[in-house]
Amino acid sequence: MRKFLNIILIVCSFAFILTTFYSCVGTSHSALATQHLSAEEKAYQERMKIKKMYGHQIEVAADKMAHRIQRLIAPQSGREVRYKLDYKNLGYDRNNHQVTIYTNFSFLARDFLSGVDYGTCLIGGFLEVYLPIREIDGTRATFTWKERNKQIVSVSSSYDWNVLDKGLTISF
């Protein structure tokens, strides 16, 4: 009988240890999942906060940059200038008081002398908006291109790409 009680005691102890182990593992796993979701949610909320605070200045900078790029590439033939901001790729540098966002610009253009007909020119890259710290300071924006289509290459000159390769900067 004593052996039987010892076996039951060992089995119960083993069951208790396993139950405790599984409950600890399950708790830490669900806690990690909650932390992961809250980090994603926190990043989303931070982007939306930046958009709410500086969205108007970002829109103005993107509009002015779109027109500046169109005037650089196709001053006479460019039209229907548009831009698209990717708020999933939005960042804020507190030290430089700068907002960076991935932006796509598009417009119609042609090169009559080269025989290139009207087509949609596309260029995408990072728009960095340097926000004024004081009211007397102006806003400055710099565009650094990362991708382009064949049409924009066909209607532009090497001078245009020299300017764009250095980063096109505007102030307003």
Q: Has residue 17 been placed in a domain?
A: no
Which amino acid appears at position 31 of this protein?
A
Q: Has residue 105 been placed in a domain?
A: yes
Using pLDDT thresholds of 50, 70 and 90, give the confidence band for residue 17. Answer: low
- H or E stretch including 131? none
- Over range 127-134, report the average pLDDT: 93
**Distance between alpha carbon 113 and the CA centroid of its chain, in Å?**
38
Confidence (pLDDT) at 165:
95
- Over range 89-112, report the average pLDDT: 93
Using pLDDT thresholds of 50, 70 and 90, give the confidence band for residue 130. Answer: very high
Q: Has residue 144 been placed in a domain?
A: yes
Confidence (pLDDT) at 133:
87
Q: Has residue 108 been placed in a domain?
A: yes
What b-and-e string marks burial along 72-82, b requiring 16 or more CB atoms within 10 Å of the CB? bbbeebbeebe
Residue 26: half-sphere exposure toward Cβ, Cα within 13 Å: 6
- Over range 99-115, report the average pLDDT: 91
Q: Where are the beta strands (DSSP E) in the chain?
A: 79-93, 98-111, 116-130, 140-148, 168-171
Are the C-beta atoms of residues 109 and 118 closer than 8 Å to each other?
yes
Using pLDDT thresholds of 50, 70 and 90, give the confidence band for residue 3. Answer: low
- Over range 26-31, report the average pLDDT: 50
3-state secondary structure (DSSP) of residue 80: strand
Range of the domain at 110: 54-171
pTM of this prediction exceeds 0.85: no
Confidence (pLDDT) at 52:
94
The total number of structural domains in the chain stands at 1
Q: Has residue 43 been placed in a domain?
A: no
For residue 24, pLDDT over 60 is answered with no
Confidence (pLDDT) at 7:
57
Q: Has residue 137 been placed in a domain?
A: yes
Q: Has residue 93 been placed in a domain?
A: yes
Confidence (pLDDT) at 40:
82
